[in-house]
Structure 1
Amino acid sequence: MTTDPATEPAEQPMIRAFPEGGALIRLAYRELSIAANGTKEQKNAVGNPRLLPRPWDPATCLNTELREQVWAWLEEVVTWLNHEYVWDVGAVIPGCWPQHPHLVHEIAALADQRRRAGAALTSDGLEEWHRYALPGFIDRMRARIKDHCEEGHQRWPASSRYARHTSDPTSHDRTHIYGRDVEATIRRGTNAPRERPRLGVVNLETGEITDGPPLSRP
């Protein structure tokens, strides 16, 4: 009896490489590396480091094309994780993960840490990712999602409590409590004495702050 090769699955490598992401993602990481380790001229060229997009925090990626590449990258990462690291169904990242903000935040950070570990010159970072980052993420995902999305995305169970949290009466109560605390601090005279102002020089192009001349006393 022979087996029809056409019905057999094509040969696949034992393991799949971690997704690299698109060109704009690689550029974003390159600029972040320059901002941290580049020469003064290179740092000046990339501009204020606070304004650089950080792929591990998608909300900072405001460029439309970069944002699209971030979502495509995370989609590839989730598929890679589900294929390479999941055996029991309880650890599968659900297909509706983009509808779970907590998963979006965590997957982006997990992908960044895996990328950094894979680029390192030793295996230490990758071992820590396997030991701490990935299991910690899976445990938190299981604790939050439980079995809500096994058969498709389910309505946010905590939506009614969130609505109550943001409602006017509840918000007013919290604001009142904050105000009472501030008033109590003023009455007790616990405000720290103000120090003399300290001047600094800010480079408007790079955002770097250097100490300015000391204030002259009258």
Structure 2
Amino acid sequence: MADPDNPIARLRPGGRVNPAPTTRRMGAGGRRRDGDAPEADPRTLVREWHAMTPTERRTAWVELVDWVTWLHDRYELATEHRLPECWPQHPGLIEELSALKAWRHEIYNSIAPSGQAARYWHAELRLVIANATTAYAQPCRAGHKTPRHDALADPNTDLRSRWLSADPLAAVPASLMTAGIEQTRGGDRIPDAVIHDALHRGDARPLGQQVADFVHYDGFWWTPEDSTGMWLQISDPVFAADLDRSADRLAEADQAVAQAQTQRRQDWR
């Protein structure tokens, strides 16, 4: 329970103990009426990474990287590497930075912006940055360096590419990925997050190294359902048998290619 005497606890998302402030919305004649709650802004919703669809997760990840790039440069976080460049490899930092981003959006885009809330946000930012180089990434911290233009994240395309290629689902327990299967799969549908985790753990396999539209998992073949974040089970036994045979042939071809590449490397030495 939030401490009512702690102003930061009252202002943090999920830690409010006071009712939301009175807001206005449009009434007759284009005027707003007092006492009505604002419409929810989907950009401010704090959601779990594993609860997003693949498209939502990719969009959220690009937006987070763009925001962290701005944060890194605006707050001079290159000084002493206060925000380690390897932040995407620390799942806890992904979560804390995501929450900071959502909270700042709530503060600066509210109907009645609060300077006090902004000050509390900056206090929390300093705490997150302190934790970044202690609780999360202490071994990753470099020695003191004077900030330079080439230390900025925005113009560093290689750094941005590394950040974008990181996995926002890293370290999410398999139990969370699979907890909602029975409610969502309907017997023949399964969430993308489950397939993603199974491939990562080696419990599923794609049809071939270059063919990812069919995945074998839990004794069945699955294929992605367009724009829903779900995979459909292949129920046709003839088609499933054809996929089994195709997977065997592709595995043999992949193995032959790998052996040829290994032989070429040995011949070049």
TM range (shorter): 0.3 to 0.5
TM-score (norm 2): 0.34
TM-score (norm 1): 0.41
Greater RCO, 1 or 2 (C-alpha within 8 Å, sep 6+): 1
Structure with a larger share of its residues in strand:
2
Structure with a larger share of its residues in helix:
1
